[in-house]
Amino acid sequence: MKSIYAFEDADSKNRMLLGGKGAGLSEMTRLKLPVPPGFTITTEVCNKYYDNGKKLPKDVMPLVMKNIAKMEKKTNKKWNSIKNPLLVSVRSGAAISMPGMMDTILNLGLNEKTVEGFAEQTKNPRFSWDSYRRFIQLFGKVVFGVDDKKFDYVLDKYKKKQKVKDDSKLNVKSLKKIVSEYKKICEKHTGRKFPDSPNEQLELAIESVFESWMGERAVVYRRQNKVTRDIANGTAVNVVTMVFGNMGDDSATGVVFTRSGANGKKELEGDYLINAQGEDVVAGVRTGKNIEMLKKEMPQSYKELNNACTKLENHFKEVQDIEFTVEQGKFYLLQTRNAKMAAQGYVKTSVDMVKEKLIDKNRSLLRIPAEQLEALLHNTIDEKKAKQFKQLAKGIAASPGAANGIAIFDVKKAMELGESGKKVILIRKETKPEDVPAFYPSQGILTSLGGKTSHAAIVSRGMGKSCIVGCNELKIDEEHNRCKANGIIVKEMDEITIDGTTGTVFIGNVPTVKPKKTKDFETILGWAQKIKKLGIRANADTPNAAKLAREYGAEGIGLCRTERMFNEKDRIKLFVKMIMAKKPEERQEILEKLQKLQKSDFIGILKAMEGYKVTIRLLDPPLHEFLPSSKNKKVLARAKELEEVNPMMGHRGVRLGITSPEIYEMQIKAVFEATAELVKKKINAKPQIMIPQVSSIAELNHIKSIYNNVKSDMEKKYRIKFKINFGTMLEVVRACLTSDELAYTAEFFSFGTNDLTQGVFSFSREDVEGKFLGDYMDKGLVEISPFQSIDKNGVGDLMKIGIERGRSVQKNLEIGICGEHGGDPNSVKFCHAADISYVSASPYRIPTAILAAAQAVIEQKKTKKSKK
Ligand code: ADP
Ligand code: MG
Ligand code: MG
């Protein structure tokens, strides 16, 4: 494999090797579009650079110089020439685009001598010196790590001196002074002379582009966007002949999308600047003009741009994001890549491009990032208006959508005010199950602690409430009902806005916009539904959540958590009483009341999901989780009694059902009663009962006998033959290994992938996420949190064992998964491949899961074909 490819020689299909930018440049060159000559140093060289202790392999620079010689021929310019210097840009570019995350240097090859020659050759000293000062600034920043502000300060100083607002108005005298000051800044910073030799400049620039691959910005970006090494491994370096948009008023530079990235409309969308260089548009030093203006200002270039857009879109069959430059009326293309769009944009263009016969349905589904669909279901910040509001802090975007309301730090108060119709944002350091009643009447939740899977995050997501967690900069003083960040104090009742899509907290009431479930969205979901094989169910604990899930396309409920019901306002007290009850009779009395309440809950949910299976999980968490932090001595004493060293591995789930059988019995009865009532009304209710935390067939059989007793009582009482399936979760390692035994009793399985992941890793999730997982990720030991995406090699393999052994006993055993992973596209794809029957996700993740399930089918077909 060669280390370097000229644009015209490269195999532009090989994005892994060339990076997206390199591949795009070479493909455009092949299409005979006007691309300045250049070459790509491959990502393999980047990896060698790192393997080599951050040194370029010896053969690279000689090869670079050979390719520079080729460029000299094509351009009729000369490297390091005083009369006619060849200048280049040195640009980063990985297999997927990481906009703004890595570095690029422009105008390389200039020094005190070539700048003069360049001035003479172009008859434009102003332009030549402007290019030089840009070069020093970029080089200083990128290669030497000088703070940009230092350069900006000098630039501003001369703008003021010369009394101009616009940098394009600076004269040669000012520019020369700026250059000299810039150099001094660099020299002071590095303690060395600013490099004048173009060869040295080039070598340093190449190295620092490689360096930027592991820069903090890039690393964080890759982590947040789940860019693993199999998606992009190292950056390539592109060396491109400079063309100049800053050569005068007949020159310009700009960026354009072939269709709107925000809403997908078929019209060019973009900005450009007259007499400027590329970076200016992106950095926003000057406000760009709308691309439509180019039609008037430079009609010929506009036409060429428009043609190029059509050609590129037809060629790549994808919306393109294009960079162009006009040098004295001559039009050049500098980049093309698949456009990154908002969910709305993807959905509309997917439908449109099928209508236009540009792509087929499969391709139209594959191109939409499934995760993004969730954003279509939540209210969002009105971006245009948000700019006028002050930012308070930034945290982890845990549950998308925007919400505004008054800041409330107290759970009780949040409930009172929320229920009285006030819009409330609940702000806490963290939340606990006992706080859940306050979630319902609140608009959104903000916590200073916790990660994406903290309690606040999971509960909010399930409810579709916007939520920000881990907002560390926010110092919360719960005692005095206030918080502080950025020097701003927010008191109780102050208005704030949280944007759960980006994690930003604003001061004041930022307007939000309602989402519309557009026709296009429905079209896409319809296509996906037809193709997918996996069943999609919802995690839903209330009739409302069930209705919503059904609206979004859920085909049943995979997990209905009964404990959530006890957390509701009118129940929790009763439930605490039940836990406190010493005498069995007393407890029995309370249980009967609870049974009535549960029955009515079940009726609501089963009705909302009529015709579809509803999996009801019996009580799972340890009892002390329900005890409030109270000053009551008796409650305290009971809490102490129930305290456990490691509650998540303690007295919970089926273990609780065995030691306090009356609780499970009550719940099972409630399911039967609810079903009986619905059967009478001829409503097709399909409940199934699921036991959590099971590790052995003995446990499962023990509970099955309780179930059997209730069943025979109920059949006598109602004279109905009930068909209520009895099944188990597989969330304990031993359950997976002995699933063949469990399959003799269980009528269905459901993997609880959260607990299973904890078990397989011996990770206690809260501790791991709060303490060291971040460090592991920084050090590259973990690429994606196993709590976000199923760990295929470990947890996934164990699941496969569980499936195989279970189905060796019951061939058609229904096996689903519930838990956070059900809404994660990668995990959905894994489940499809593993022959899982269905995944269960929170209502707002249903469209995501449907799309991911369809993508799994299409991708599988594609790989099968390519293997043939
Ligand atoms: P990014 O990946 O951050 O967009 P680029 O490598 O595309 O970085 O370059 C940054 C800017 O410089 C872009 O606006 C690009 O168009 C411009 N640019 C890059 N190379 C050249 C060149 N050879 N001539 C003129 N402008 C260039
Ligand atoms: Mg670019
Ligand atoms: Mg569990």
DSSP 584-617: HHHHHHHHHHHHHHHHHHHHHHHHHTTTSEEEEE
pLDDT at position 830 is: 97
- Within 10 angstroms of residue 790's Cβ, the number of other Cβ atoms is 29
Q: What is the dihedral of CA 277, 283, 287, 291, to 10 degrees?
A: 60
pLDDT at position 517 is: 77
Ligand 1: nearest atom to the Cα of 88: 23
Of residues 276 and 301, more confidence is placed in 301
At residue 58, φ and ψ (nearest 5 deg) are -55, -35
Rounded CA gap, 706 and 710, in Å?
Answer: 6
pLDDT in tens, 137-151: 999 999 999 988 899
- Measured in Å, residue 335 CA sits from the centre of ligand 2 at 6
Please indicate whether residue 104, judged by its CB atom, sits closer than 6 Å to ligand 1. yes
Mean pLDDT of 808-822: 95
Q: What is the dihedral of CA 632, 635, 638, 640, to 10 degrees?
A: -60
Please indicate whether residue 221, judged by its CB atom, sits closer than 6 Å to ligand 1. no
**Please, are residues 43 and 17 in contact by the beta-carbon 8 Å criterion?**
yes
HSE of 406 in the Cβ direction (CA atoms, 13 Å)? 17
Model confidence, pTM: 0.82
HSE of 577 in the Cβ direction (CA atoms, 13 Å)? 15
* For ligand 1, mutation pick of 334, 337, 340 (most atoms within 8 Å of CB): 334
Question: If pLDDT is split at 50, 70 and 90, which confidence band does 504 have?
Answer: very high
pLDDT at position 375 is: 79
Could you tell me what percent of the chain has a pLDDT over 90?
Answer: 69
Mean pLDDT of 325-343: 91
Mean pLDDT of 555-578: 86
Protein residue with least CA distance to atom 19, ligand 1 = 89
> What element of type H or E holds 283?
helix 279-283
Protein residue with least CA distance to atom 13, ligand 1 = 278
**Please, are residues 650 and 695 in contact by the beta-carbon 8 Å criterion?**
no
Least Cα distance to 209 among 234, 189, 242, 192 occurs for 234
pLDDT at position 759 is: 96
State how far the alpha carbon of 359 is from the alpha carbons of 258, 314, 340, 393, in Å.
16, 10, 18, 43
**Please, are residues 169 and 163 in contact by the beta-carbon 8 Å criterion?**
no
Ligand 1: nearest atom to the Cα of 238: 6
- Measured in Å, residue 323 CA sits from the centre of ligand 2 at 7
Look up tokens 């009971």; give the residue.
638
Rounded CA gap, 687 and 609, in Å?
Answer: 10
Rounded CA gap, 837 and 369, in Å?
Answer: 23
Confirm whether 702 is a catalytic residue: no
**Please, are residues 162 and 174 in contact by the beta-carbon 8 Å criterion?**
yes
Please indicate whether residue 656, judged by its CB atom, sits closer than 6 Å to ligand 1. no
**Please, are residues 319 and 349 in contact by the beta-carbon 8 Å criterion?**
yes
Question: If pLDDT is split at 50, 70 and 90, which confidence band does 462 have?
Answer: low
Question: If pLDDT is split at 50, 70 and 90, which confidence band does 282 have?
Answer: low
- Measured in Å, residue 791 CA sits from the centre of ligand 2 at 34
Residue 783 has pLDDT above 90, yes or no: no
Taking the CA of 621 as reference, the closest ligand is 3
pLDDT at position 515 is: 77
Protein residue with least CA distance to atom 12, ligand 1 = 278
- Measured in Å, residue 762 CA sits from the centre of ligand 1 at 47
Roughly what angle, to the nearest 10 degrees, separates helices 697-718 and 661-680?
Answer: 40
Least Cα distance to 257 among 123, 349, 121, 189 occurs for 349
**Please, are residues 767 and 732 in contact by the beta-carbon 8 Å criterion?**
no
Confirm whether 186 is a catalytic residue: no
Rounded CA gap, 822 and 839, in Å?
Answer: 5
State how far the alpha carbon of 53 is from the alpha carbons of 46, 62, 213, 323, in Å.
11, 20, 14, 34
Ligand 1: nearest atom to the Cα of 255: 14
pLDDT at position 845 is: 92
pLDDT at position 581 is: 85
Rounded CA gap, 95 and 17, in Å?
Answer: 7
Please indicate whether residue 100, judged by its CB atom, sits closer than 6 Å to ligand 1. yes
Any residues with CB less than 8 A from the CB of 579 and at least 6 apart, and which? 623, 626, 627, 638, 642
Tokens coding 837: 């029957």
Mean pLDDT of 443-471: 80
Protein residue with least CA distance to atom 9, ligand 1 = 104
Could you tell me what percent of the chain has a pLDDT over 70?
Answer: 97
Rounded CA gap, 45 and 51, in Å?
Answer: 10
Please indicate whether residue 853, judged by its CB atom, sits closer than 6 Å to ligand 1. no
Ligand 1: nearest atom to the Cα of 282: 14
Average pLDDT, rounded, for the chain: 91
Q: Which of 130-139, 463-472, 527-536, 808-817 has the lowest mean pLDDT?
A: 463-472
pLDDT at position 632 is: 80
Q: Which of 136-150, 392-406, 557-571, 727-741 has the lowest mean pLDDT?
A: 557-571
Tokens coding 757: 């992941």
pLDDT in tens, 155-197: 999 999 999 888 888 999 999 999 999 999 999 999 999 999 9
Mean pLDDT of 753-767: 92
Active-site entry in 309, 471, 818, 831: 818
Please indicate whether residue 742, judged by its CB atom, sits closer than 6 Å to ligand 1. no
Ligand 1: nearest atom to the Cα of 278: 14
> What element of type H or E holds 733?
helix 733-737
Rounded CA gap, 534 and 612, in Å?
Answer: 15
Protein residue with least CA distance to atom 15, ligand 1 = 278
Q: Rounded to 5 degrees, what angle do the CA atoms 147, 148, 153 make?
A: 110
Protein residue with least CA distance to atom 20, ligand 1 = 89
State how far the alpha carbon of 760 is from the alpha carbons of 27, 620, 788, in Å.
46, 19, 15
Active-site entry in 378, 455, 624, 821: 455
* For ligand 1, mutation pick of 18, 88, 104 (most atoms within 8 Å of CB): 104
Protein residue with least CA distance to atom 2, ligand 1 = 99
Least Cα distance to 39 among 95, 90, 99 occurs for 90
Please indicate whether residue 34, judged by its CB atom, sits closer than 6 Å to ligand 1. no
- Measured in Å, residue 197 CA sits from the centre of ligand 2 at 26
At residue 143, φ and ψ (nearest 5 deg) are -80, -45
Rounded CA gap, 435 and 458, in Å?
Answer: 13
pLDDT at position 573 is: 84
- Within 10 angstroms of residue 700's Cβ, the number of other Cβ atoms is 21
- Measured in Å, residue 198 CA sits from the centre of ligand 2 at 23
